Chains A and B, each alone.
Chain A
């Protein structure tokens, strides 16, 4: 068990923009830590630098007190679960799981016991003599997990381990992995592009984009108080509406959106857009489930403060709820309809008296759940 500390880690390939740019973060002992971001954001490169497969261009990596920056992978004592599982096809299940113990010169008898234990932990007791190609994808995934855990690594690294499983199995395996990790208490670094997965499993999440760390925090924190417009868009279903600060009243700011409507948002000194002043160009992040549908809109002149008028463009019925797509009325011609920065998505409970597409309706975002971010 150990903590992992990255300090000013940068990885550059040739003349291209850095894959990872000046990344500093500390993963606490026993923590389940997730690197989250779209493909190409640098999360996998970061994980591979922790594992020792990629050497940082600059910066240092420490496991506890030990500087491992230039240590080869086989001397780092990490356990890694690969996206493709990377099981050895010429060995059976027990040989695969026992490989790391063999490298650590564990005696045969003890090795056998520990392999059996590890297989039991992942629910594959008695599978030791199976060949790898006789296993299903989910079973292979669990063999890979057992192989990484049996050596009792100081850090467990998981590189999108669920991405090759189908949806149902993915959810099951996800809670299994978390439970096993919690019992073992191993410091874990998990890489994924699936925000739901990240939120469900992690103690803390680091959201990355373009090689840069955008936000580091607990799942709720990241969801409710996104640090940047990117985080707001990437996590959950969020509307990011550009606007200008028109007034400050204590802890609240009045923000004029591009379509002319005026919303009030809380000012947070320590997150999001930070302390704002009149005239600042910012954006409002509004979660789709935090918008109320008020009904047919009154005349534009009668628009109430705190409401938005929009034209209903599409309705998607998802079972328990409905998702509505509406276009802001900002005077631009209809060709702009459907464009990302004019489209508002809201999620409401299913009802029988939905407005019809083309209707102009009034919406009211919950003022407590509006969050200001930098543009």
Chain B
């Protein structure tokens, strides 16, 4: 009888661990609200000013056409990148032929292209005054203009060559994950090879193709650099034009429309990844490679591979070549005529030339530190929060990943122009802090994703073991969870750093006149026809990316084997963590 009162006493059902999660979530939610969500709202509010005149402008003016053009280019990019990436994946995972090893190495080379320079190099390779069209004119006598990739075609070329890795990676993973015994089972049951592809492999690859397509579409919609070089009036271009000409309401309206499209696609991707269940249930019989037989097919394969390798290496080679060009000497020749080492020595000896490098690395370094703190803690909270809040927090921190850099720039400009309660009275326009803020917003999702992925690898009972042995929540986090996450987080943070180091799209919208970041300097040099100097910066950027890629690779092979947890990984939006180049 005495036990009755305690039985009737209902408890909150919260453990100390749950409470710690909520306490930690509070400041994170605050930061994400102030720096990510409110700026979006600020842009929306600005866009509706003057009774929505901006939206009337939007529908009647050139913005509507720009939206249609953006969507059209994006759809086309999905098709071309899908074709190239998918074909490469099938070829390299299913066939054995001369040149396969080389192709496998170089297939991922586009990922090492720095953001701005990457788009520029295609312009100088295949544009009207580019190397290839001039070569064709010289040797075959066909007018350079008729073989050059210009305008929309140029944009499509850049998109295809920089975005096919999304498809290549996802389809390769899908094909490698599909088990040979599945295909054997289908053919054993009477399916021909073609029928087997249609009824077994393609349905299994659908998730890979869909995520590749959604990702490519989003990145294409956000693309700004390529349209700028080829002077194609996409919506991103219109946004920057409106802002430059002082029509803030119109810029805000255009940003809002673009944000809505992007967020729609982010949610679509999340929804799709959560519902798909096409996973191989069998144990895994290794896939046998089909060997290409016969002298002629093998020769053709070898020549084809060699050509493809040349195409893949060409952009990188062009960047290196142009970085040694003497400024102003390359006019109508096929290749630049004069070379020098001076472009590089100047960067490190002339303080004026070194400054952009320092500005960018400091700003990006600051952003990286902030991203690590916010990204890691948010990942932990999302993984341990048992309620619906986890999903909300996940969407909040992943939002900037979906937002085009241009829009992020506009959001910051509108939200931090004047002190309001929502920005806690902070004004960043023209201040030193605006670039780190922009980089933080853009790249915190990257750190978050990596942190969440390494967290998913940790057996949750390891944290419980620490608590059981007497460690409080902070101590558990410090002595067990964080050390186990270090490598993954470091890889993500370094990736965020190089991204920020070369960031152009948002920088060009927000940068204060006194602190031009590296990418803006590159653009200005190129504009001033100082090609050699511009590409010298680009080469350094490429080197930085390469170093980071190698370090990340080393970090991904940890000393200890991590035990896979039996629990399902946290409901975190799965997105590739590769750089988004355009």
Contact = CB atoms under 8 A, between A and B. Distances in A.
Contacts of A80: 464-465, 468
Tell me which of A56, A58, A75 has the highest count of chain B C-beta atoms within 10 A of its own C-beta.
A58
Nearest to B16: A72
A186 to B, nearest CB: 14
6 contacts: A58-B11, A70-B11, A84-B563, A99-B471, A103-B475, A133-B561
Contacts of B7: 7-8, 10, 22, 58-59
B6 A84 contact: no
Given A99-B466, A131-B560, 14 more contacts: A7-B3, A51-B464, A53-B15, A53-B464, A58-B7, A58-B8, A73-B15, A74-B468, A84-B461, A84-B563, A88-B465, A88-B484, A148-B468, A148-B469
Contacts of B389: none
A228 B124 CA distance: 83
B472 A74 contact: yes
Contacts of A89: 462, 484, 560-563
B303 interface: no
Interface string A80-115: 101110111110000000011001100000000000
Nearest to A55: B15
A54 interface: yes
Interface residues of B, number: 38
B17 interface: yes
A52 B561 CA distance: 29
A89 B462 CA distance: 9
A79 B7 CA distance: 27
Interface of B: 3, 6-18, 459, 461-462, 464-472, 475, 479-480, 483-484, 559-563, 565-566
Contact of B566 (A58, A77, A84): A84
A89 B512 CA distance: 47
A56 B14 CA distance: 9
Contacts of B6: 7-8, 58-60
Given A7-B3, A90-B483, A73 B468 contact: yes
A46 B14 CA distance: 16
A249 B111 CA distance: 88
Given A59-B6, A103-B470, A151-B470, A72 B15 contact: yes
A142 interface: no
Interface string A59-77: 1100000000110111111
Contacts of A77: 470
A86 B465 contact: yes
Interface residues of A, number: 45
A53 B465 CA distance: 10
A227 interface: no
Interface string A29-71: 0000000000000000000000111111111100000000110
A75 to B, nearest CB: 8
A100 B470 contact: yes
A246 B468 CA distance: 56
A136 to B, nearest CB: 13
Interface in A178-228: none
A264 interface: no
Contacts of A291: none
A103 B462 contact: no
A345 to B, nearest CB: 33
A58 to B, nearest CB: 6
B13 A57 contact: yes
A366 to B, nearest CB: 42
B468 A79 contact: yes
Tell me which of B3, B7, B480, B562 has the highest count of chain A C-beta atoms within 10 A of its own C-beta.
B7
Contacts of B475: 103
Nearest to A57: B13
A151 B559 CA distance: 29
Nearest to A24: B3
A343 interface: no
Contacts of B565: 84
Nearest to A11: B13
A52 B13 contact: no
Nearest to B476: A74
A46 to B, nearest CB: 15
A135 to B, nearest CB: 11
A84 B17 contact: no
A283 B55 CA distance: 78
A52 B19 CA distance: 13
B11 A74 contact: no
A132 B561 CA distance: 9
Contacts of A148: 468-469
A78 interface: yes
B264 to A, nearest CB: 31
Contacts of A60: 3, 6
B532 to A, nearest CB: 48
Contacts of B11: 55-58, 69-70
